[in-house]
A and B are shown apart, each in its own frame.
Chain A
């Protein structure tokens, strides 16, 4: 009775997958519900949902790829390592969730999922999924004190840069700390305008770009990943300047209303353009270098 055999196997698969899904949901359903209703609505952690979505998409995409071309011999479960990771992750989760330490609560998702993959499929499969897990690092909310310590100098640097450029462009601009005065208006460079939020989102999207474009040269990848930091800075300066000019020419309400939201788009568009043109430059540089070597030999 082959038909009954197939359906029994499918029933088993359905049961196994369903149980796992339920387990993960019982852990992280409440976590993400809280994040979406709290922390991820704030300026400093607004990048969370984007990072989560990209990480999950990557996990799904890679899993299907593995399912398509994996041989049974590739599957070498590593139960010892896997269970260690899973138990460690579970303990981290209990501590983090009960004491409201997001660093532990959200961070535990990496050892929990990685442990599960190790137990069921082994380290080779985990190796092919590494990028998704690395990516999840970006969605872990850092303690507020750490974020503040890093954000503050970035805000100041963005304020100084914007002041300088607006001054060069001939606008009546003055700055005190992170407060810009342009004409009769005052702008406070808030966390959202120059925080870790945008740096992390851009770094995450930049890494995604690198992973999709798939350069063979490791140096080029690393250079571009590092360049995302100054690119994020420049994009933030552009955003603040756009906001300052909108406020100056069109009034306070325009600067604070719809156009404030729109300036987020300006940020990402200018960052993406900068990343792609940097990449183009690097490629050109590599090509010239390659030609030079050829000519020498």
Chain B
């Protein structure tokens, strides 16, 4: 009845116990070293606090389907956002801008905001141009905010996209920078939040791209002027609150 016991390896128990204790200690150390502090505990609802009418802009029920903000089918890892807003706005001249906000409370190495250049490609678009762009007229934000301009196309249409990605206090330009920031914060016990702020405009030709970017960035600049501080803080980080106080 205890036959199977004889198959157990004949090993010295003090050795086995030492190894097991090293393993147990590592497991405990990992638990203790895991960051737990999140920077934003009570976030305002973006859906409710981002105005549907502001300045020259008003929301338009969109006939277009926007390019989603995730790269794949929607599961917990592919859809790492706590709040998203997808809207289309129109101004007095009839220019239409698509707004996409995607905010996540906890940014970790593999569960974090997706880069738009990857989202667009994953959903069948081609990225024709992608370059860094400094946006200076962003209220609540830092004086020089680093974002990106991207030109994409699918079928016969083009879309001029302007966006920034904020992870904690970092306006991220590439994936490695993002990872390094999350890692450094994590070693200090903190989990940064993160957001993608994206505005885009459909344009007819590649030559119209510059105009599309300008309109999109003017839209973002206008939007920031009409946000209450707590909401603005989600978009550009805690700078917004500290400059107020």
Contact = CB atoms under 8 A, between A and B. Distances in A.
Q: Are both chains from one complex?
A: yes
Given A41-B75, A176-B155, A20 B19 contact: yes
A242 interface: no
Interface residues of A, number: 56
A86 B19 contact: yes
Interface residues of B, number: 55
A23 B21 contact: yes
A102 B7 contact: no
A138 interface: no
B16 A16 contact: yes
A12 to B, nearest CB: 5
Contacts of A12: 13
Given A19-B20, A20-B20, A190-B72, A176 B154 contact: yes
B37 interface: no
A26 B27 contact: yes
Contact of A67 (B9, B23, B122): B9
B183 interface: yes
Contact of A98 (B20, B23, B34): B34
Contacts of B2: 10
A23 B20 contact: yes
Task: State the majority secondary structure of interface residues on A.
Answer: helix
Chain B contact residues: over half helix, strand or loop, or mixed?
helix
A11 B158 CA distance: 73
Contacts of B30: 93-94, 97-98
Contacts of A176: 124, 154-155
A67 B7 CA distance: 8
B75 A93 contact: no
Contacts of A91: 26
Contacts of B207: none
Given A120-B15, A145-B175, A176-B154, A64 B23 contact: no
Contact of B12 (A16, A94, A152): A16
Contacts of B43: none
B108 A100 contact: yes
A19 B13 contact: yes
Contacts of B24: 22-23, 26
A97 B32 CA distance: 10
B13 A42 contact: no
A208 interface: no
B22 interface: yes
A47 B10 CA distance: 35
A188 B9 contact: no
Given A13-B5, A13-B10, A176-B155, A42 B72 contact: yes
B16 A120 contact: yes
A17 B11 CA distance: 8
B38 interface: no
A168 to B, nearest CB: 23
B54 interface: no
B71 interface: yes
Interface string A33-48: 0000011011110000
Interface string B60-80: 000000000001110111100
B92 interface: no
A148 interface: yes
B243 interface: no
7 contacts: A17-B11, A22-B24, A98-B31, A99-B108, A100-B108, A120-B19, A191-B71
Q: What 10 pairs across the A-B complex have the smallest Cβ distances?
A: A23-B23, A23-B20, A98-B33, A16-B16, A97-B30, A90-B26, A179-B124, A19-B20, A26-B27, A13-B8
Interface of B: 2, 5-13, 15-17, 19-27, 29-35, 71-73, 75-78, 108-111, 118, 121-126, 154-155, 175, 179, 182-183, 186-187
